[in-house]
């Protein structure tokens, strides 16, 4: 496979994952605005921070209210992480790697892009926003389904998955980073109730509120949430799950190509740290520092994969 194609696949799936995650952030904000109108502006701003778009947002807008934030995150062409921009980049990459995709995957991405483009031609209204969110959700599932159902399990698939999980790990880590202070034991004393809005934001943003309730029978504690998002390998958006997938997909490449590269050791190191550590240890060392280090290591892993597999010449 061409190095450029591997890079195109990697980024195509990063952008797809990002579009889905950003949509989930919008959905979270919307939910909180509907149920807790007094608190919603603070939450919109923290969602912007999670999307790493706060700075750019305030060069264009004065206040982080629902209408502004939704429009900015959903369809602003100058925001490179807006759903619209992410989808456009995903499709651009898909065109570039067209020969590596099955017709099903290509058509799913192309169809998603075209439907979104016409839906997002005008600002979303209160009335049609839920439909728009549902559309992104359905279309993302369609692309994922096409990928799983029609693609050969070879290096093409592996690079696509690497992009997905690197982006996902990054996204979950950033949610933790923005909300880390909420989860600190010093703020929320043992036994006291964690601010409901805060934990709801965190869990909704990773589509984990129901799963968390199942696993903990409704006992919401900061430590429990942090543990769930970092260490629970059953949770498909946890750091541990994403890291495990990154390592195994890199492992398939290692086996298929018969060559061990620096990125393999790097992923193994990162994964091992998660497997041998615990939430108590993390809190002892400092949650914030842990997440910052994790984000840096993850970015370095992305760069190493890019170098090792010759994405660019």
Partner 1 sequence: MENPTPFFDEMLGPDNGARPPYEAYHRWFEGEDRRDLIRKSGEAERFFRRTGITFNVYGAADADERLIPFDIVPRIISGREWARLTRGIEQRVRAINAFLHDIYHRQEIIRAGRIPIELIAKNDAFLKAMIGLEPPGGVYTHIVGIDLVRVAEDQFYVLEDNARTPSGVSYMLENRETMLQVFPELFGRIKVRGVGDYPLALRRSLGASMPRHASGDGAVAVLTPGIHNSAYFEHAFLADHMGVELVEGSDLRVVDGKIAMRTTRGYKPIDVLYRRVDDDFLDPLSFNPDSLLGVPGIMDVYRAGGITIANAPGTGIADDKAIYSYMPEIVEFYTGEKPLLENVPTWRCSEADALAYVLDHLDELVVKEVHGSGGYGMLVGPAASKKELAAFRAKLKSRPANYIAQPTLALSTVPILTKAGLAPRHVDLRPFVLVSPNGIEITPGGLTRVALKKGSLVVNSSQGGGTKDTWVLEE
Residue 309 found at the interface with partner 1 (CB under 8 A): yes
Nearest to 110 by CA among 87, 84, 135: 87
Least separation in angstroms between residue 181's CB and partner 1 is: 42
Candidates 95-103, 175-183, 192-200, 218-226: pick the segment binding partner 1 (CB under 8 A): 95-103
Nearest to 291 by CA among 154, 180, 165, 167: 180
Residues 223-282 that bind partner 1 (CB under 8 A): 257, 259
Among 41, 110, 119, 248, the residue binding partner 1 under the rule CB under 8 A is: 110
Q: Which is nearer to partner 1, 6 or 183 (CB)?
A: 6
Q: Is 295 helix (H, G, I), strand (E, B) or coil?
A: helix
Binding mask 139-158 for partner 1 (x = CB under 8 A): ----------------x---
For 97-221, where are the alpha helices, taking DSSP H only? Answer: 103-119, 129-150, 155-183, 196-205, 209-216
Among 42, 54, 71, 111, the residue binding partner 1 under the rule CB under 8 A is: 111
Residue 283 found at the interface with partner 1 (CB under 8 A): no
Candidates 24-32, 103-111, 214-222, 294-302: pick the segment binding partner 1 (CB under 8 A): 103-111
Residue 3 found at the interface with partner 1 (CB under 8 A): yes
Binding mask 153-192 for partner 1 (x = CB under 8 A): --x-------------------------------------
Q: Which is nearer to partner 1, 6 or 182 (CB)?
A: 6
Residue 6 found at the interface with partner 1 (CB under 8 A): yes
Based on C-alpha coordinates, what's the Rg of the chain?
A: 19
Residue 293 found at the interface with partner 1 (CB under 8 A): no
State the burial class of residue 20 (Cβ atoms within 10 Å of its Cβ: 0-12, 13-18, 19+). buried
What is the Cα–Cα distance from 155 to 252, expressed in whole angstroms? 8
Candidates 21-29, 107-115, 169-177, 277-285: pick the segment binding partner 1 (CB under 8 A): 107-115
Tokens 């492992």 belong to which residue? 251
Residue 119 found at the interface with partner 1 (CB under 8 A): no
Residue 92 found at the interface with partner 1 (CB under 8 A): yes
Instruction: Write the DSSP assignment of 173-209 as a string of letters.
Output: HHHHHHHHHHH-TTTS-TTSPPPHHHHHHHHHHTT-H
State the burial class of residue 54 (Cβ atoms within 10 Å of its Cβ: 0-12, 13-18, 19+). middle
Nearest to 81 by CA among 18, 24, 28: 18
Q: Where on the chain is the footprint of partner 1 (CB under 8 A)?
A: 1-6, 92, 95-96, 98-99, 103, 106-107, 110-111, 114, 155, 257, 259, 309-310, 313
């Amino acid at each position: 496979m061409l190095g450029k194609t591997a890079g195109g696949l990697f980024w195509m799936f990063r952008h797809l994952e990002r579009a889905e995650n950003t949509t989930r952030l919008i959905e979270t904000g919307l939910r909180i605005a509907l149920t807790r109108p007094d608190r919603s502006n603070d939450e919109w701003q923290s969602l912007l921070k999670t999307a790493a778009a706060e700075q750019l947002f305030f060069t264009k807008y004065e206040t982080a209210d629902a209408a502004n934030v939704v429009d900015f995150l959903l369809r602003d062409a100058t925001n490179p992480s807006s759903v619209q921009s992410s989808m456009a980049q995903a499709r651009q990459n898909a065109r570039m790697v067209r020969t590596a995709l099955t017709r099903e995957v290509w058509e799913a991405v192309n169809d998603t892009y075209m439907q979104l483009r016409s839906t997002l031609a005008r600002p979303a209204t209160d009335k049609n926003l839920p439909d728009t969110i549902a559309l992104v959700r359905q279309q993302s599932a369609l692309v994922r389904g096409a990928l799983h159902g029609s693609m050969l399990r070879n290096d093409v698939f592996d690079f696509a998955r690497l992009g997905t999980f690197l982006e996902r790990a990054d996204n979950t880590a950033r949610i933790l980073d923005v909300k880390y202070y909420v989860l600190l034991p010093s703020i929320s004393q043992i036994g006291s109730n964690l601010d409901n809005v805060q934990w709801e934001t965190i869990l909704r943003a990773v589509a984990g509120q129901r799963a968390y309730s199942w696993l903990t029978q409704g006992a919401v504690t900061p430590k429990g949430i942090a543990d769930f998002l970092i260490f629970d390998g059953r949770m498909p958006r946890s750091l541990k799950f994403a890291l495990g997938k990154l390592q195994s997909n890199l492992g398939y490449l290692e086996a298929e190509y018969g060559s061990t590269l620096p990125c393999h050791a790097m992923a193994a190191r990162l994964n091992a740290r998660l497997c041998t550590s615990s939430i108590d240890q993390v809190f002892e060392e400092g949650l914030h520092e842990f997440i910052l280090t994790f984000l840096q290591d993850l970015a370095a892993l992305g760069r190493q994969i890019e170098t090792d597999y010759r994405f660019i010449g």
